[in-house]
Chain A
Amino acid sequence: MLKVEEQQPVEFSPSLLEKFGEIVKRYPEGKHKSGLLPILHETQAELGWLSTNAMDKIAAYLDIQDIEVYEVASFYSMYFLKPQGKYVMEVCRTGPCCLVGAENIMIHLEQSLGVKEGEVTSDGLFSWRGVECLAACGYGPVLQIGPEYTFYENLNEQKVDELIYDLRNK
């Protein structure tokens, strides 16, 4: 997972650092490590993914060991440890959504984007993957796109095509 070539230097913008400062204020004295998950989200929203260097910088910011950041970032499914497409389309693949056609949506994504799950399209715009239940089972099939996690419900193939078209031409 943590490869040497992923060591390019990173800079955190002043606005990102300001967000870090707001986050750590939410916890009692000495408990700033609680800010790790929200800080990882904010960092990923700015940089697109979490490189080793970015994680090391976060560790330094929170004054914790690097490994404390790696083990958290690798445990949770929302953190990307390698570069992704600009739009990561995450389709719910769990039971209730499958009852109403989620598997067809994933097949359709693979065909229309021309990449397998987890891969990035050659223009760098898209990747897609199946994720577990997104707490919207009554409105399935559903798909979300980070970093704001915009939600698309009651999908069918045509709606997916329109969405891809809109994002391509944005």
Chain B
Amino acid sequence: MGRKLLLEHIHVPGINTLEVYRQKGGYRALEKAIKTLTPDEVVEEVKKSGLRGRGGAGFPTGMKWSFLAKPERVARYLVCNADESEPGTFKDRYLMTYIPHALIEGMIVSSYALGANTSYIYVRGEMMPQIRILEKAIAEAKNAGLLGKNILGSGYDLELYVQPGGGAYICGEETALLESLEGKRGNPRIKPPFPAIAGLYGCPTVVNNVESIAAVVPIINNGGEEYAKIGIGRSTGTKLISASGNIVKPGVYEIELGLPVEEFIYSDEWCGGIANGKQLKATVAGGSSVPILPANLSLKLANGDPRLMSYESLSEGGFATGSMMGSGGFIAFDEDQCIVRNTWNFARFYHHESCGQCSPCREGTGWMEKVLHRLEYGHGKMSDIDLLVNVAKNIEGNTICPLGDAAAWPVASAIRHFRDEFEWHVKEPAKALNINYGLANYAAPIAKAEVTIGN
């Protein structure tokens, strides 16, 4: 069994209540921080922990915190990103549903560290049940003197509010989120200035993911150095993985970073293998925005070593043979899945969710969706495949926010690794409408020599 820091007590009945959460050691981190540590010392512990942002970008949290500008008499804000909309990702919803006080405690400790007296949790609007759960938890904490004025007699004041979104993936991007929290359309801002200098209402602001903030609790409880001992290399600590697709046991798992991908997929402790006795065809390791990999490259690096669930190992090989940790949304595809159809589905998603501010993203995502649709439905041409590669290339790096890249990478990587399946859709349109291409040569494990690395 791997160590559990966030989900250790998730199955304890009543853990969603303040009473049981406290019985299980909850709010000890808050007492420790507020009574024995200065705000800077809390930041220092988070730095030592090596915690990297769990929202997708993997930026070191302690370093982000230390960039926060602190002009005098200007309010500072902590905003929690609970917009969770990246396809394949559902860990934050899980955490907020079952153990909401982990997030509330993390918010209080983190706000104390940053010197914020008002903080917001921006929750995607569809998560109305979770919004109610959080509001209840906040009320409980407030009644117990853990929030509000003069927390635990320390003189530190904090108000914490939950803000619903309106249904827009782009509001997960931190500057779009801030625009949305100001009551506007979710158009990402041009950076710089970064939120650490000018964020919410133009004030210095830190935006962090739900899981990042919840991880601050065990970091303070055990010390940053202890946290850093878990994991592997620069991938410290534990990570929540949302596992979906064609596996025996989909769900949210807390893993120690460094777990082999093969063990994660096939061991009974985790996903329990591929459902219905089928074979693995492909994985998307970190949410829809990261490159898709065929089974063989999902389990092993190009040199044949096992691939691990860590920031470094998942991206090993760059775009040629690697993927990314992203938000930890692990999607498994079995032999019956059609890569062209899934790529079209994702392209449609990004087209639908583009805010429309920059033309490469607005036009390019629509174009990719259209071309993929015609390939999937048997009207595609051979030249469409290179056209897609070209459109993806022209979006990548040419946009205000990373949604453009996020739209381009899944398309580019699907063609890089599954070009024969795209070609088959052109050559055999009638067949492609009725049957799937199947496993072809992507099955795991296949010999190293057979790995085709196109770019």
Interface residues of A (CB under 8 A from B): 26, 28, 31, 33-38, 40-41, 62, 68, 71-72, 75-79, 93-96, 98-100, 131-140, 144, 146-151
Contact = CB atoms under 8 A, between A and B. Distances in A.
A37 B185 contact: no
A37 B180 contact: yes
A167 B25 CA distance: 43
B181 interface: yes
Interface residues of B, number: 56
B246 A100 contact: yes
Interface of B: 75, 84-90, 92-93, 118, 120, 124-129, 161, 163-169, 180-186, 201, 242-246, 250-252, 288, 329, 331, 333-334, 337, 341-342, 345-346, 349, 352-353, 355
B244 A94 contact: no
Return the 8 tightest CB-CB contacts between A and B, nearest first: A76-B166, A138-B250, A78-B167, A36-B183, A77-B167, A33-B183, A137-B244, A149-B128
A135 B185 contact: no
Given A76-B125, A99-B333, A151-B129, A138 B252 contact: yes
Contacts of A148: 128-129
A94 B349 contact: yes
A78 B125 contact: yes
B84 A135 contact: yes
B166 A137 contact: no
A137 B92 contact: no
Nearest to B356: A75
Contacts of B125: 37, 41, 76, 78
A135 B124 contact: yes
A11 B86 CA distance: 38
Given A28-B201, A77-B167, A100-B246, A135 B349 contact: no
A11 to B, nearest CB: 23
Contact of A71 (B93, B124, B185): B185
Contacts of A144: 126
Contacts of A95: 87-88, 288, 331, 342, 345-346, 349
13 contacts: A31-B182, A34-B183, A37-B125, A68-B184, A75-B185, A76-B165, A98-B342, A100-B246, A135-B85, A136-B90, A137-B89, A137-B242, A139-B90
B86 A133 contact: yes
Contacts of B93: 135-136
A134 B126 CA distance: 7
Contacts of B181: 34
A33 B181 CA distance: 9
A78 B84 CA distance: 15
B182 A132 contact: no
A132 B88 CA distance: 11
A77 to B, nearest CB: 4
B246 A99 contact: yes
